[in-house]
Amino acid sequence: MTGRERILRVLAGEQPDRVPFVPNLWQWFYVNQERGALPKALREVFSPVGVLRKLRAEVMSKFDGLALREGLPHCRQTVTFAGDRQACPAWTSFTSFEGGTVRRDTLETPAGSLTHTWQYEPQSGAPFETEHWWKDFEREYPAVRFWLEDASPVLDQAAWARGLANVGEDGLVLFQLPPTPLKKFHWLAGQEQATFWIHDHPREMRELARIHERTALAALEEVVDLAGLEVFEVPDNLDSMFYSPALFRAFCLPLLQQAARMIHARSKYLFVHACGRLKALAPLFLEAELDCVEGQAHPPLGDWPLAQARALSERLIVCGGMTATEQEWHGPGTRARIEAYVRETFASLGDKRRFLFASGCNTSPRTPWENLLAFRDACWEHGKFPNP
């Protein structure tokens, strides 16, 4: 059974030969590659997908699904860099730093200009926003609105073809759609400021949400029938600390419901990235007709154990099981500890159908290679299905 076949059986609620093992190793690979800390076994491996193949894992790649480009016919965007050019990373999950560790973007619109700054922190292997696009509601609202109205996502055919070819039959590409309006507001203004503005300026924020919804659905309409595309993902970071049920209902649910109906009409699947506290949102996942909350973090990082997610609905695909808490275990007896943890986790899920054994958000760069091998071996042992 190929990795693609194995994952598709799980998504369909059918029984494969075993539970798919689908760790997210992108940050783990690039940070350790940059630090010269990859194990000897990976000397001849040059990509995260290559690591997954070396690990004999299934591939579930969202980064090969970054094939939508934002067209802005009436705006002009420029980028400048500062900081240490020698410390520039080869890759980050959100943006690029080819000219320095500080990236400053400027967007000029007929209604005004907006600026935004990222800073890459080598010690964490991750970028952080030090300046959001939208800082003053009244002064910058016209420019933000013009930007959202001007945006027209376009499929990059070459990028999509490369993504499919890179993954091949070893797994699936998760095609990345635009975020929900609430996540878009978080990107524009930051989570705290966006939350205040939703309460202080409800009419304007709802208007912006509807504009973004129309753009996102138009983008989905363009790609929903692509051959070889089975799974779409909305790249939010669901967490009830900033996605209260009321905010989710107002600024996520309308888009997700419409997207789910379009996708399900083609017998395809809708994922949303969800790695925070999820328990309060669980009933809304069913109302939104989601197929999977991808990257779920269980306690203590999250608040929704995998067994409770499994019990919510026979239709919901559970995707998670390995967080930094377990990934970073070390010392004598670690392999046995991992084996016991996987055995108990799998047993808590009943028949193990509709379960993808995955990273809870991602894989910590401090995860030893030996731990990844131990997780894989335990998955193979305890994730077997009788008579697939």
Of the chain, the percentage scoring pLDDT greater than 90 comes to 95
Residue whose tokens read 């600390």? 241
Residues 251-265 have a mean pLDDT of: 98
Residue whose tokens read 């969800």? 274
DSSP state of 132: -
Residues 49-72 have a mean pLDDT of: 97
Q: How many CB atoms lie within 10 A of CB 304?
A: 23
Exposure string (b/e) for 335-374, b if CB count within 10 Å is 16 or more? bebbbebbeebbeebeebbbbbbbbbbbbbbebebebbbb
Q: For all residues of the chain together, what is the average pLDDT?
A: 96
pLDDT band of residue 386 (cuts 50, 70, 90) is: confident
pLDDT above 90: residue 113: yes
* CATH 3.20.20.210 domain extents, the chain: 3-71+151-382
Look at residue 82 and give its three-state secondary structure.
strand
Res 388: pLDDT? 58
Closest C-alpha to 67, from 181, 148, 163: 163
CATH architecture of structural domain 3-71+151-382: Alpha-Beta Barrel (3.20)
Residues 258-283 have a mean pLDDT of: 96
DSSP state of 18: B
What values do phi and psi take at 267, rounded to 5? 60, 40
Residues 274-290 have a mean pLDDT of: 96
CA distance linking residue 25 with residue 38, whole number of Å? 12
pLDDT above 90: residue 348: yes
CA distance linking residue 225 with residue 150, whole number of Å? 25
Maximum separation of any 2 CA atoms in the chain, in Å: 64
Q: How many CB atoms lie within 10 A of CB 158?
A: 9
Give yes or no for a cis peptide into 300 (omega within 30° of 0). Answer: yes
Q: Are the beta carbons of 107 and 170 closer than 8 angstroms? A: no
Q: Are the beta carbons of 158 and 212 closer than 8 angstroms? A: no
